[in-house]
């Protein structure tokens, strides 16, 4: 008989359909077990970020980025209106951003909880609350197998209720993963101002049908939040413009997956908008893989306007 731990390798451990029967068989500390259960039940989990040098890193990041954002980080009374909303992929030229993203203990934790080796592929640094509409990351960053992606949000200061804290809908990670076929649109080669906009009415309808309520994360400096790929989350309104909300988000993928953007894909006919992923830790590309076989790069694929194709594995081509 197969070991229950090996029955569902294509599902993250924390979202396994037999999670309750296997969680105690995984080598987890007491706090890791709490995090695993929170992720399974609620879709998110808070923890203290494990970096003894974190305060110094935060001070350096805020010092460097305050000038870029046009903010006086020492002015506590004036309105904080940055000249840009975020820095994407600051890890490329900021060693402190990269060190946070590549924290070995966080990567080890995520790898245990998802059942595959995690690696960071994107960073976002924010000076104030995003006020972003509720969304799931699955329309931006998905994988085959599904759900092998997560985010980690780190508070770089004590978060005030008026600053526009991170918000989320507990348990929404269990709702259906929305794709273009489900909401009745074509994604391949479409043009969108916002990848999440086509899905917002469907998410709102699920919120209403489930009578779902939001929670906000009033984090302490140095606290972090892990969330599952399908958790509905966003930014609450900034009701006090004098408050900053310094934070870093790191997005993680996991080994041996195909990485793509569902908003611009039509999965049933094999048209996937494959992502060209770079591992933040190494600076090297991470190939799209399916059962250990590398998938043909997007630019080498057949003309998508011709008959439907799914991605090519080395030495083998599949037609649908």
Mean pLDDT of 289-311: 59
Please give the CATH topology (third level) of the domain spanning 45-281. Answer: Jelly Rolls (2.60.120)
Average pLDDT across the chain, whole number: 91
Mean pLDDT of 109-136: 97
Please choose, from the candidates 78, 80, 71, 56, the residue with its C-alpha nearest in 3D space to the C-alpha of residue 131: 80
Please give the residue that has the higher pLDDT: either 144 or 296: 144
Structure confidence by residue, pLDDT tens digits, 3-60: 888 889 999 999 999 999 999 999 999 999 999 999 999 999 999 999 999 999 999 9
Structure confidence by residue, pLDDT tens digits, 147-204: 999 999 999 999 999 999 999 999 999 999 999 999 999 999 888 888 999 999 999 9
The alpha carbons of the chain give a radius of gyration, in whole angstroms, of: 20
Question: What phi and psi values does residue 20 have, to the nearest 5 degrees?
Answer: -60, -30
Neighbours of 39 (CB within 10 A): 24
Mean pLDDT of 288-316: 56
Q: Indicate whether 264 pLDDT > 70.
A: yes
Structure confidence by residue, pLDDT tens digits, 189-228: 888 888 999 999 999 999 999 999 999 999 999 999 999 9
Report H helices in the chain. 19-22, 30-42, 54-69, 95-101, 104-114, 180-183, 200-209
Give the DSSP letter of residue 219.
Answer: P
pLDDT, residue 1, reads 56
Sketch the domain layout of the chain as residue ranges.
45-281
Nearest-angstrom CA–CA distance, 261 and 263: 6
pLDDT, residue 140, reads 94
Bridge partners (DSSP) listed for residue 45: 226
pLDDT, residue 297, reads 55
Q: Which residues contact 36 (CB under 8 A, 6 or more apart)?
A: 13, 14, 23, 26, 28, 45, 113
Q: Give the whole-number percent of the chain exceeding pLDDT 70.
A: 92
Residue pair 154/247 in contact by the 8 Å Cβ criterion: yes
Structure confidence by residue, pLDDT tens digits, 60-91: 999 999 999 999 877 778 899 999 999 999 99
Q: Which residues of 139-177 are buried (b: 16+ CB within 10 A; e: fewer)?
A: bbbbbbbbbbbbbbbbbbbebbebbbbbbbbbebbebee
pLDDT, residue 5, reads 86
pLDDT, residue 219, reads 98
Residue pair 225/243 in contact by the 8 Å Cβ criterion: no
Q: Give the whole-number percent of the chain exceeding pLDDT 90.
A: 85
Nearest-angstrom CA–CA distance, 116 and 74: 43
Question: Is the C-alpha dihedral spanning 43, 48, 53, 58 positive or negative?
Answer: positive
């Amino acid at each position: 008989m197969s070991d229950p731990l090996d029955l569902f390798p294509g599902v993250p451990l924390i979202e396994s359909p037999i999670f309750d029967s296997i969680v105690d068989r995984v080598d987890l500390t007491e706090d890791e077990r709490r995090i695993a259960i929170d992720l399974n039940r609620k879709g998110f989990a808070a923890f203290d970020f494990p970096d003894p040098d974190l305060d110094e890193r935060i001070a350096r990041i805020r010092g460097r980025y305050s000038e870029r954002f046009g903010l006086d980080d020492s002015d506590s009374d004036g309105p904080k209106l940055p000249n840009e909303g975020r820095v994407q992929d600051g890890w490329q030229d900021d060693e402190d951003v990269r060190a946070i993203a590549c924290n070995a203990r966080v990567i080890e934790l995520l790898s245990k909880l998802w059942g595959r080796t995690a690696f960071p592929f994107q960073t976002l640094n924010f000076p104030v609350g995003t006020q972003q509409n509720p969304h799931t990351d699955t329309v931006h960053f998905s994988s085959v197998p599904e759900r092998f992606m997560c985010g980690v949000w780190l508070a770089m200061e004590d978060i005030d209720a008026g600053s526009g804290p991170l918000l989320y809908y507990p348990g929404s990670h269990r709702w259906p993963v929305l794709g273009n076929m489900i909401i009745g649109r074509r994604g391949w080669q479409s043009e969108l101002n916002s990848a999440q906009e086509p899905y917002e009415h469907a998410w709102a309808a699920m919120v209403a049908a489930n009578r779902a309520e939001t929670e906000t994360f009033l984090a302490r400096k140095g606290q972090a939040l892990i969330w599952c790929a399908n958790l509905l989350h966003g930014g609450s309104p900034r009701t006090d413009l004098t408050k900053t909300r310094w934070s870093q988000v790191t997005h993680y993928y996991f080994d041996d997956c195909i990485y793509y953007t569902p908003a611009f894909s039509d999965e049933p006919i094999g048209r996937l908008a494959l992502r060209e992923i770079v591992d933040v830790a190494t600076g090297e590309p991470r190939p799209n893989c399916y059962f250990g076989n590398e998938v043909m790069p997007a630019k080498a694929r057949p003309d998508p306007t011709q008959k439907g194709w799914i991605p090519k594995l080395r030495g083998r081509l599949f037609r649908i």
